[in-house]
Amino acid sequence: MIKEEFKVFANAVNGNEMNLSFEIATSVDIEPYAITGKFVFKTSSKNTFSKIINVGGLPNGIYMIKINKGNNALTRKVVILK
């Protein structure tokens, strides 16, 4: 189950990097959305335990991070403060 495999560190992103950590090596698609629902970009993680996403180009605010693995999806709220 994707919920047990995925963690976001930290909930408040300070600086330009958001760290995603996976309990097992996994391949997922990662899609951040602005709190308004606007799609921001898409990136992928291929058979790895972690992914660092550069969020330096995004304005401060609340974002929803959607993680897709096959037919399963998980969404987490993240606050970006720079």
Q: pLDDT, tens digit, for every residue of 19-67?
A: 888 888 889 999 999 999 999 999 999 999 989 899 999 999 999 999 9
- pTM of the entire predicted model: 0.82
The per-residue pLDDT for range 70-81, each reduced to its tens digit, is: 898 889 899 988
Tell which wins on pLDDT, 40 or 10. Answer: 40
What's the DSSP call for residue 82?
-
Q: What was the pLDDT predicted at 15?
A: 79
Q: What are 43's two structure tokens?
A: 């990136």
Q: What was the pLDDT predicted at 63?
A: 95
CATH of 8-80, one of 1.10.3720.10, 2.60.40.3080, 3.10.105.10, 3.30.420.10: 2.60.40.3080
What residues does each domain of the chain span? 8-80
Q: What was the pLDDT predicted at 82?
A: 77
At a CB cut-off of 8 Å and minimum separation 6, what does 43 contact? 29, 30, 51, 53
